[in-house]
Amino acid sequence: MKRFFLHTTFIILTLISISAKAQNKIGVTNLQCEMLSNPEGIDVVQPRLSWQINANVSDVKQTAYQIIVSSTLENLNANKGDLWDTGKVQSNASVNIIYNGKRLENRQNAFWKVILWTNKGEIQSVDKAHFSMGIMNYADWKSTRWIGYEKASAGDSISQYSKLSARYLRKEINLKKQVKSAKVYIMGMGLYELYINGNKIGDQVLAPVPTDYTKNVKYNVFDVTSQLKEGKNMLGTILGNGRFFTMRQDFKPYKIKTFGYPKMALQLYVEYTDGTKEVIRTDDTWKVTTNGPILSNNEYDGEEYDARKELKNWNTTNFDDKNWFQAEYVQEPGGFYEAQMTPNMKIMGEVKPISIKQTPKGTYILDMGQNMVGWLQLKVKGKSGDKVILKFAESLQADGSLYIENLRDARTTDVYTLKGEGEEIWEPTFVFHGFRFVEVSGFPTKPTLDNFVGKVVYDDIKTTGTFESSDAVMNQIFKNAYWGISGNYKGMPIDCPQRNERQPWLGDRTTGAYGESFLFDNQTLYAKWLDDIKNAQTADGGIPDVAPAFWRYYGDNVTWPGTYITVAEMLYQQFGDKKVIEKHYPSMKKWVVYMEQNYLVKDLMTKDKYGDWCVPPESLELIHSKDSARTTNGELIASAFYYHLLQKMKKFATINGNNSDDIQYYDSLSERVKTAFNVKFFNASKNNYANNTVTANLLPLAFGMVPENLQSKVFENIVHEVEVTYNGHISTGVIGTQFLMRTLSEYGRPDLSYKLASNDTYPSWGYMAKNGATTIWELWNGNTADPKMNSQNHVMLLGDLLIWYYENIAGIKSNPETPGFKQIIMKPDFETGLTFVNASYESIHGTIKSNWKKTKNNLQWNITIPANTSAIVYLPSTKVSAVTLDNKKLDKTAVSYKVENNKLILILPSGSYVLNVK
Ligand code: RAM
């Protein structure tokens, strides 16, 4: 009876809680530590915690929070915050809350949740999140030795086209007791694959992220509890070359050839159920061989794999390694050891080829239908020793054969030798290619489309933005940008993925990184890149054009190094990341002062290296224009840009609360630069700058250097150049294009920006697409220019196009006063000529949506504003009576509004709304 009673109570309680749940439409989700979805190995003493509120009721505001951080899950379940319990904090902040509890120890595990109070009631996170600290005690690494094999083997070649076979390492360990928990910390340089008992650990590829290994070395952390068992276990790793051992770059002295032979250091921490602990470390009891199937792996030239040499079961205990060598002790790479705080690459998607054609030579050309980055998986049947050769390229020549001239001397070829044991499925391990077409030779049978699958590889970060509009050209460009950006995320943003370069050029991302942030959650990637840049700074303050400085281009340029500052601002604006500004401020300031002291002459910046790089040339065969009327003065570019960067430094000093001396310094220096700039470059009789290129007028206008009374006159000159001289086309390069679209829109000509965005004649982004581009080209004339420099997958020419898509067309912009989209400015240009736009952006506070549609007499605008945020919404009307909100007359709702500059402005709290304007 008692039992029955208990049981019934249980049912009743469950029913109550289910129905309570059904009513409760507010929840907490996305608990993140340092904005990482899988935070194993946090490398900061005070990590930042963030969450999102999801609600399907409107007007939800957080009023207070309580964070509970516990050292065990049991404690957390009992609400015992033995590490940190904030108590109830009156605050609406929900992102980047700095941990301020007990000191987080070396390799500490932490479990956490959050309780929130909102204007609509109290909520607890159902999700319990977890993070673990990295190796904070450097001494822990001390007795762990770097091991490797520091020789070339038979068949290897140490030359410009180096071939170095992969290193296979193994170590049998004996765990005496039952395992309670286990974590492995691995530094495998250049690239590693890790196995335990034959199973690959993690789904990452091409790990870890590249760095300048003499400055910092990244380790990855994995919880491997479920992989280990009492008794014998086998640890196995394969080491590839990556950027560590490239032996490339024409053997030019200013390009790093190599950091040495591949090497690794690993620690495995095991805790047994009886509470005892054990640490297993790399040492010379590990065995190594280079005599495995990966004969060669070279990022630029490709991978060679001989399946006949497969080492069956090598990574299990069931293998005889008597022919293997003892691993050698080798020197450490030199850099500090840091837990990797940005995701590794992963296979992010698949592409099925769309056609296969036989060539007169008897080879086959495979078309993936998309310029993609990654590799090809092969399915093949044949005899032992048959060789399939895959050669990758971005496009074809007129005769249907591969166009490879633009790859320069990268050989981009994978070779697979069959073992002849039925169906064989293979894909490379340590290389990637940028390609749309593949030439297949040596295939033992007649290949069909089913024999191949393209694997799309880039950093494991989420897609955050969608966009579609009534304009097909704009939609195609968006898609091309999506593929171009993602393909070039390789643990650092690289310029291109195909030719012999693939370098993290700063200038390609100055403003691009900002636009990209709408499409991809690139916060941790760019935070890592700022560290790369900082690590590349010279002792006296110089910043290179490429960082990590694999190519040592220390040219003391302004525009490319300035990316250090603009990317930090982007992280602040888009993700509310204030820490990057605090962290990098001293080194940024050092650079600013260094440039002033060395290159400021008569208050103008004299150093410029690339000009307005890649303006559309007058002839379709040229790389760079030879026409002086198209070229913008380098001193003008450098001085304007330096001024622009000084404004940002002033903003940073204010954010940081730096002393007023700094602010004073930026103020007076920028005033001097502005004055000298206007004296030297402004033509008072014509109201334009220098030789009146769009860029020459655009930079001072966009940067606020033009006296107010002259701004509209200067703008008229820009409009004239774009509209008349260039007949509605682009005439700017990498520099001018960063400001072009927004400036045209914001000074009153959104129709002209739209024209540029929807054109498909030369030069335009649409022209690229019309000529077959499925990514973005390096040159506006990328199909006809000299192959020496025409990558077909380079994102630098995007300029501010994507920012314009989101901020000016969709109307999704973070209010600079409340970074990280705490308040959204929704101010689309409805006057471009577009008839509809559907866009969404997953901000750190939640998903923002803006879908608008214009008909003859009506504008309908559906918007979604995430919980705990608000939006300033601009409607293109001054008539309150013309507006309805969720089918109610605006003046009959509780929403307050005002009329300003021919617009109705509302401030809306969170929620989804339908606005109609007649
Ligand atoms: C090219 C790169 C890069 C650009 C530099 C200046 O070699 O591809 O995109 O930033 O030149």
What topology does CATH give the domain 816-917? Maltose phosphorylase, domain 3 (2.60.420)
Exposure b/e, 843-867, CB count within 10 A at least 16 = b: bbbbebbbbbebeeeebebebbbbb
Q: Which atom of ligand 1 is nearest to the CA of 505?
A: 10
pLDDT for the residue 659: 78
- Report, at the CATH architecture level, how domain 139-342 is classified: Sandwich (2.60)
Nearest to 335, CA basis, from 168, 183, 479, 536? 536
Give the whole-angstrom CA distance, residue 649 versus residue 566.
Answer: 10
DSSP state of 685: T
* Cβ–Cβ < 8 Å for 908, 865: yes
Burial bucket for residue 10 (CB in 10 Å: 0-12, 13-18, 19+): exposed
In tens, the pLDDT along 741-764 reads: 999 999 999 999 999 999 999 999
* Cβ–Cβ < 8 Å for 188, 168: no
Residue nearest atom 5 in ligand 1 by C-alpha distance: 505
Q: How far is CA 694 from CA 530, 685, 745, 874, in A?
A: 31, 17, 15, 30
Give the whole-angstrom CA distance, residue 127 versus residue 118.
Answer: 18
Give the whole-angstrom CA distance, residue 765 versus residue 480.
Answer: 9
Q: Residue 522 C-alpha to ligand 1 middle, in angstroms?
A: 21
Q: Residue 26 C-alpha to ligand 1 middle, in angstroms?
A: 48
- What φ, ψ does residue 733 adopt, rounded to 5°? -105, -150
What topology does CATH give the domain 7-133? Immunoglobulin-like (2.60.40)
Give every residue of the chain whose pLDDT is below 50, as ranges.
Answer: 1-22
pLDDT for the residue 71: 98
Give the whole-angstrom CA distance, residue 250 versus residue 8.
Answer: 79
Q: How far is CA 440 from CA 144, 229, 236, 357, 365, in A?
A: 45, 44, 32, 10, 6
User: Both tokens of residue 785?
Assistant: 């220019």
pLDDT for the residue 126: 82
In tens, the pLDDT along 263-306 reads: 999 999 999 999 999 999 999 999 999 999 999 999 999 999 99
pLDDT for the residue 21: 44
482 close to ligand 1 (CB < 6 Angstrom): no
Q: Residue 778 C-alpha to ligand 1 middle, in angstroms?
A: 9
553 close to ligand 1 (CB < 6 Angstrom): no
Residue nearest atom 8 in ligand 1 by C-alpha distance: 495
Contacts for 84-89: CB closer than 8 Å, 24+ residues apart: 84/112, 88/64, 88/117, 89/64, 89/65
Q: Per the omega criterion (within 30 degrees of 0), is the bond before 353 cis?
A: no
pLDDT for the residue 177: 98
Q: Which atom of ligand 1 is nearest to the CA of 495?
A: 9
CA atoms within 13 A on the CB side of 450: 4
**Substitution candidate for ligand 1 out of 407, 495, 610 with most atoms within 8 A of CB:** 495
Decide if 139-342 and 346-459 have a common fold.
Answer: yes
CA atoms within 13 A on the CB side of 453: 12
pLDDT for the residue 251: 64
Residue nearest atom 11 in ligand 1 by C-alpha distance: 505
505 close to ligand 1 (CB < 6 Angstrom): yes
- Got the DSSP string for 158-186? -STT-B-PPEEEEEEEEE-S-EEEEEEEE
* Cβ–Cβ < 8 Å for 460, 408: no
Place of tokens 């007169």: 360
Does the domain spanning 346-459 belong to CATH 3.40.50.300?
Answer: no
User: Both tokens of residue 841?
Assistant: 């952006």
pLDDT for the residue 590: 98
507 close to ligand 1 (CB < 6 Angstrom): yes
In tens, the pLDDT along 192-233 reads: 999 999 999 999 999 999 999 999 999 999 999 999 999 999
Q: In sequence order, which residues have a C-beta less than 8 Å from that of residue 210 and are 6 or more positions away?
A: 190, 242, 243, 490, 491, 492, 548
495 close to ligand 1 (CB < 6 Angstrom): yes
Does the domain spanning 465-810 belong to CATH 1.50.10.10?
Answer: yes
pLDDT for the residue 403: 97
Nearest to 314, CA basis, from 238, 251, 382, 254? 238
Q: Which residues pair with 199 in a beta bridge?
A: 196
Q: Residue 495 C-alpha to ligand 1 middle, in angstroms?
A: 7
Helices (H) and strands (E) in the chain, counts: 15, 50
What's the farthest any 2 CA atoms get from each other in the chain? 101
Q: In sequence order, which residues have a C-beta less than 8 Å from that of residue 223 and are 6 or more positions away?
A: 40, 132, 181, 182, 183
**Substitution candidate for ligand 1 out of 406, 492, 499, 505 with most atoms within 8 A of CB:** 505
pLDDT for the residue 159: 84
Q: Which residues pair with 888 in a beta bridge?
A: 885
Q: Which atom of ligand 1 is nearest to the CA of 613?
A: 6
For residues 377, 381, 387, 392, the Cα torsion angle rounded to the nearest 10 degrees is: -30
Question: What's the residue count for the chain?
Answer: 918
Q: Which residues are catalytic?
A: 501, 778
* Domain range list for the chain: 7-133, 139-342, 346-459, 465-810, 816-917
